[in-house]
Structure 1
Amino acid sequence: MFKRAAVLVASCGALLSGCGTDLQTENEEIISNLIEAGFPAHDIMVADDAVYVGLDAHVTLEASQEMLQPGKESLEQYRTTNLVGTSVTKICVNPTSTFNSYTRLSQGLDAAIANYNGLGLRITMARGPTTGCTANITAQTMSGTGGSAGFPSGGRPYGTINIGTGLNTYSVDVNEHVITHELGHAVGFRHSDYYNRAISCGSGGNEGTAGVGAILIPGTPSTATKGGSVMNSCFSSTETGEWTSSDRTALNYLY
């Protein structure tokens, strides 16, 4: 998303040099798995000792291994190979105290949760702490004006979304948009314009199709357009934070 490149400042030097041995070995395996799954090497980066694809999606070792399992497909509006399993019915999003101290981030989180709950999906979201949670996501802050998250693993949503504190100077709608977007990654969505980031970002190429190609979700457009999806790679300062019709179709199809 817009201005997210700051997430990718590598803390271990060029890729893996200087990291701890165990972490280096794990990250090397993740990168190897991603390349085998079809992600181009130029779209894989290491920041803060973690491996990212598409500028904002953290990939764990387990998630990278699942991408190589036989029969897995890469789809979303587009989605990843991994989705949230049926045992997960209520996802609680738990903001840290620091997150709550930023008024527009906090308001944006409430609006993002309402976006998901307004669709009548098989999974609901709730702002935590609360009861009845079958999965949890921590909402925490990072520097800058973007965000990051990761993909589901083992049938559970990714456990953390990171939202830039610089977004507090933007409208609540923009905060709603970014948080909705990162929660989308956490439940398995890739960027709608993954195949050409220039559509929403003005520059950038193909993030890769994860081995077997990106399979279009029935009923959604075959091509992305600027402003056409909450899940586009980059956002503008005029976002409404609301789902587009194709976003709603994709979510209803999957969940």
Structure 2
Amino acid sequence: MFKRAAVLVVSCGALFAGCGTDPHIENEEIISNLMEAGIPADDIMVVDGAVYVGRDAHVSLEASRELLQRGEGSEELYMTTNRVGTSVTKICVNPTATFNTYTRLSQGLDLALGNYNALGLRITFARGPTTGCTANITAQTMAGTGGSSGFPSGGRPYGTINIGTGLNSLSVDVNEHVVTHELGHTLGLRHTDFYDRSISCGGAPTNEGTAGVGAVLIPGTPTTATPGGSIMNSCYPPDTDGEFTSSDRTALNYLY
């Protein structure tokens, strides 16, 4: 998730390293799996030891292996071929101590959780630490004015969202937007304009392709993206209100 017209690769900031006893070997396998699945090499990047596709979506070793097992999805838009399983009913988002020192990031998190809970989905969100959690997501900081996260794997939401500390100097609505967007990825939502990032980001047209996780049209949602048409657009406008659009609500109600 980036501000419109930002320099995308630079905006990724300092992201955390991948897990495993030998991240270098793991990353080689992830990249190999992605390329075997047909992901263009120029849509894969390694930042601080972690493999990313679509600029802000981390791909784990498990997720890359699942991709080869299930084959490719369709090449339309909105969701990955992985979803959060029915055993997950309450997702607790646990901010780090550092995250909590940034007032607007913290406010944005609360508002983002409210966005999801207002929809009455089968999955609810809570700010942790708390009890009754069937899945947990850590909210931590990164450099810049964007964010990053990842897609579901093994029926679980992706376990981390990274939110840029530079957002603390922007409006609460922008913070709400970015946190809501990154949580959307953890549930399996793709960028609405994945097939042409220039729709929300400006610049030259860029197609993310299936990004190794599928790009499947959600019934009832538009087949084409528009500026401001979804909180899941690749880049956010400076005047965002941080709220879901009608298409976003349709997509989430269909999924969950």
- TM-score, L = length of structure 1: 0.91
- Partner SS for 1:230: coil
Please tell me whether residue 113 in structure 1 is matched to residue 117 in structure 2: no
Aligned to 2:136: 136
Aligned to 1:99: 99
Q: 1:37 to 1:133 in 2, by over 3 A?
A: same
Alignment check: 8 A CA contact 2:80 2:214 kept: no
Q: 1:197 to 1:74 in 2, by over 3 A?
A: same
- In structure 1, what is the Cα distance between the partners aligned to 2:118 and 2:136? 19
Deviations 1:192-240 (A, max 9, x none): 1111111111024100125796331110001001111010000121111
Aligned to 1:48: 48
Q: Which has the higher contact order (CA 8 A, sep 6+)?
A: 2
Deviations 1:101-146 (A, max 9, x none): 1110000000000000010101000000000000000000111100
Alignment check: 8 A CA contact 2:105 2:168 kept: yes
- In structure 1, what is the Cα distance between the partners aligned to 2:35 and 2:14? 19
Amino acid at match of 1:249: T
Aligned to 1:148: 148
- In structure 1, what is the Cα distance between the partners aligned to 2:79 and 2:217? 9
- In structure 2, what is the Cα distance between the partners aligned to 1:39 and 1:178? 26
Q: 1:225 to 1:89 in 2, by over 3 A?
A: same
- In structure 1, what is the Cα distance between the partners aligned to 2:43 and 2:211? 12
Deviations 1:69-90 (A, max 9, x none): 2366358851112111000000
Please identify, of 192-201 and 71-80, the stretch whose mean Cα deviation from structure 2 is larger.
71-80
Alignment check: 8 A CA contact 1:74 1:212 kept: no
Amino acid at match of 1:64: S
Alignment check: 8 A CA contact 1:66 1:82 kept: no
- Partner SS for 1:215: coil
Aligned to 2:10: 6
- In structure 1, what is the Cα distance between the partners aligned to 2:30 and 2:250? 32
Aligned to 1:175: 175
- TM-score, L = length of structure 2: 0.90
Tell me, which stretches of 5 or more residues in structure 2 are unaligned? none
- Partner SS for 1:177: helix
Aligned to 1:251: 252
Query: How far apart are residue 164 of structure 1 and its match?
Result: 0.4
Alignment RMSD (CA, Å): 2.2
- In structure 2, what is the Cα distance between the partners aligned to 1:64 and 1:8? 21
- In structure 2, what is the Cα distance between the partners aligned to 1:148 and 1:87? 25
Amino acid at match of 1:60: S
Query: How far apart are residue 39 of structure 1 and its match?
Result: 2.1
Q: 1:12-23 alignment to 2 at 5 Å? A: 22-23=22-23
Aligned to 2:87: 87
- In structure 2, what is the Cα distance between the partners aligned to 1:222 and 1:82? 20
Alignment check: 8 A CA contact 2:113 2:126 kept: yes
Amino acid at match of 2:227: K
Please tell me whether residue 29 in structure 1 is matched to residue 29 in structure 2: yes
- In structure 1, what is the Cα distance between the partners aligned to 2:213 and 2:145? 33
Q: 1:154 to 1:217 in 2, by over 3 A?
A: same
Please identify, of 63-72 and 48-57, the stretch whose mean Cα deviation from structure 2 is larger.
63-72
Aligned to 1:217: 218
